[in-house]
């Protein structure tokens, strides 16, 4: 049995309009045997930074061979439409989307782009819906086995628009960073890794002073799972994407801390308030 080629798909199109459905229809018409898996279409509208984080988080789990990603506030401007490949576990994995930084952190997870194409615009392309007119057909054709050079001209993968995730400031006993994304449950993913926790010499089980700006300082426990703190308590843990995250067991940390993507946050071993 020949494996079904898959296009995974992330966007800020939402599901209340037919944008996503029409992109699915375009894939089905371009390459009927290709299957589409929706990652999410709930990226906040035009938020390239949050979209790039969510896409990067998906990378370790993506089936081959193509991912379509569209968060495209510059549609209709001179920004390029691109396809870029990195080395996936079973061969090249292609990312198709606008060259505005959205794809960069995902490509970085796989070691960076090794090949890139500036997608040619088909005749009759609209000025506002390149997901339908440019990106979905290109993704479908790549998944269906088209040679990359059928889709446009090769460009230098080193010249793709970069978008580095923010890096935390770490010293012994202190970690300063920002919220990268907030999920449905109000859990806050921070721009920090387990290595950063180690560099700060934080220990599992330790109480930390957690400060959100603007806003106050609260006690939070560094733990392995939600279940390691009592209902309603703040916990700092490593989430399922290997990011440091702040959560409240059974409630929303985003509401508790009035935090959102971009909120500055500090974890400190000193100055801990009464729990």
> Does 124 sit near a copy of itself (CB under 8 A)?
no
Q: Using CB under 8 A, count the residues that bind a copy of itself.
A: 61
Judged by CB under 8 A, which of 109, 183, 199, 209 binds a copy of itself? Answer: 183
> Does 164 sit near a copy of itself (CB under 8 A)?
no
Angle in degrees, 0-180, between the axes of helices 19-30 and 136-143, rounded to the nearest 10: 40
Smallest gap from residue 273 Cβ to a copy of itself (A): 26
Which residues lie across from 95 on neighbouring strands? Answer: 67, 84
Write out the binding residues for a copy of itself, residues 57-76 only, by CB under 8 A.
Answer: 57-58, 61-63, 73-76
For residue 49, CA distances in Å to 98, 116, 147, 157 come to 13, 21, 30, 20
Q: Distance between CA 171 and CA 230 in Å, rounded? A: 29
Write out the binding residues for a copy of itself, residues 21-40 only, by CB under 8 A.
Answer: 21-22, 24-26, 28-29, 32-33, 35, 37-40
Judged by CB under 8 A, which of 198, 201, 224, 260 binds a copy of itself? Answer: 224
Binding segment for a copy of itself (CB under 8 A), chosen from 94-102, 109-117, 145-153, 181-189, is: 181-189
Write out the binding residues for a copy of itself, residues 230-269 only, by CB under 8 A.
Answer: 237, 239-240, 250
For residue 259, CA distances in Å to 49, 187, 215, 255 come to 16, 10, 9, 7
Interface contacts to a copy of itself, rule CB under 8 A = 1, 3-4, 6, 8, 10, 13-22, 24-26, 28-29, 32-33, 35, 37-42, 45-46, 54, 57-58, 61-63, 73-77, 126-129, 132-133, 183-185, 224-228, 237, 239-240, 250
């Amino acid at each position: 049995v020949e494996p079904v080629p898959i296009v995974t798909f992330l966007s800020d199109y939402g599901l209340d309009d037919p944008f996503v459905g029409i992109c699915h229809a375009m894939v089905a018409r371009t390459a009927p045997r290709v299957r589409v898996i929706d990652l999410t279409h709930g990226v906040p509208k035009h938020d390239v930074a949050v979209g790039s984080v969510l896409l990067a988080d998906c990378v370790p789990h993506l089936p081959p061979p193509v991912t379509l990603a569209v968060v495209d506030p510059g549609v209709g401007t001179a920004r390029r439409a691109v396809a870029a490949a990195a080395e996936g576990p079973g061969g090249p994995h292609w990312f198709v989307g606008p060259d505005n930084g959205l794809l960069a952190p995902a490509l970085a997870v796989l070691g960076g782009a090794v090949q890139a194409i500036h997608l040619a615009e088909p005749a009759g392309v609209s000025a506002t819906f390149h997901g339908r007119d440019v990106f979905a057909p290109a993704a479908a054709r790549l998944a269906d086995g088209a040679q990359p050079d059928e889709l446009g001209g090769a460009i230098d993968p080193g010249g793709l628009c970069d978008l580095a995730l923010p890096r935390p400031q770490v010293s012994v006993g202190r970690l300063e960073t920002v919220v990268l994304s907030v999920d449905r449950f109000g859990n806050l993913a921070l721009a920090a890794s387990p290595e950063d926790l180690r560099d700060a010499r934080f220990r599992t089980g330790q109480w930390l002073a957690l400060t959100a700006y603007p806003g106050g300082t609260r006690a939070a426990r560094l733990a392995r799972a939600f279940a390691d703190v009592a209902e309603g308590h703040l916990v700092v843990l490593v989430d399922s994407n290997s990011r440091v995250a702040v959560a409240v067991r059974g409630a929303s940390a985003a509401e508790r801390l009035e935090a959102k993507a971009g909120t500055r946050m500090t974890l400190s071993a000193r100055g801990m308030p009464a729990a």
